[in-house]
Structure 1
Amino acid sequence: MRVIFYFFIIFFLFTSTLLPHSDHYKNFNQIEFEIYRNSKLVGYNKYNFYNKGKILEIKNIIAFNVKLLGKDIIKLYGRSSEIHTDGKLISFTSETKQNDKIKYVKISVDENSDKLKINSSSNNGMVDPEIIVGNWWNHQVLLSDKFISPVTGSIRKQEVNFIKKSKISLNGKDYMTEVFKITTYKSNKKNLVFLVWYEKSKNIIFKVKYNKYGEWEYRLKKFN
């Protein structure tokens, strides 16, 4: 009963903005987040949008660097390209350097089955085309019960619960957001818990917060 209740709340919040999801971003040029760890600015996450008729391409750059006593302890730099046609994912590529490890993901549509074909550093196989890549530009991450990791290509299950409404400020302007809790699972065990602040009228995630080797926050810096 509880699961049905949460689903109803989420469905009600999103019903007016569901399909086709690429239309939500056809007028966007950029969404940029600042990345904080333990309240200190350590990096950025930039999504650039290129809309050409029915084709939407999203290029992403993410970089952060955490130092201890002058030495790098957590360092990441990654680039990706995600292409949608008529609201459907047709390709995704990424390469990420995390400390000294290189991770990659290549996703394409299988011509014989219309499923998504994944070739990555940690996963190879086919998945249903409804499964999204878990990037913070895409508010549909709040409607999915599983997602593809943009860094490793692995499939993660998740549970999304609506928590409350909350006011948030950006560049001197207040916005009313809905706060959701996303609990992700790895090998059927609880992995990470994210708090996500979503602004419905703009279809934008304003903030993401989670704990992993410190308290991390992705704070929306600007969008246009």
Structure 2
Amino acid sequence: MLICFEGPSAVGKTTLSQSLSTDFQVIPEANQLFIRPENEPRLWYYHKQVERYQMGVQAKRPVILDGDIFQPLWYNWTYDYPETFPSQKETHQFFQDNIAQEKMAFPDLYIIFKATHEQLRQRKQKDPTRTRRHFEKHLQLIESQQRYFQYLKSIGMAVAFVEYNDFDITRNQVLSIIAAHKVAPRSHTEDFQKIIGWLTKN
């Protein structure tokens, strides 16, 4: 099973995923897993998401992705595709091609964490190991991120929303969600077409 943890910066995704590493294969987010090269190729970050998916497919245990492999779809959409980012057309074409070639697919289960801005700021202050240079900017994407995953849930994809308050309570809730989930076959191509249609209209 391929499970994805997603949510705002500093919500606690990495801490929680690491606490489950005894029973799950944890695949860190791309910026933690790979070193960005100087003068990186335009789609370098996108290709690294494909690599993360391939790591998950090859794992011998259930997998937790710390961060969405399709993150560029909703992140770039949120900020209206700045000139320094790949365009909407490039982004959609890249993921469409990789899905068609079966090089990547949507996770079997998304678990999306929520917390207040105050909680997120407090957690950021308590974590000296991460700089989170764009933290305040990333607070702006919370609403659109939630809208995106609500849409995925509305078309039948497996998405669970979890209030991340107490660590132990949240951890137990996540384990219960995972234990109860039954993977059902889906057409990733059809899901993707619905998603890009929605992104284009919104």
Return the TM-score normalized by structure 2.
0.31
User: Higher strand fraction: Structure 1 or Structure 2?
Assistant: 1
More relative contact order, 1 or 2 (CA 8 Å, 6+ apart): 2
User: Higher helix fraction: Structure 1 or Structure 2?
Assistant: 2
Return the TM-score normalized by structure 1.
0.29
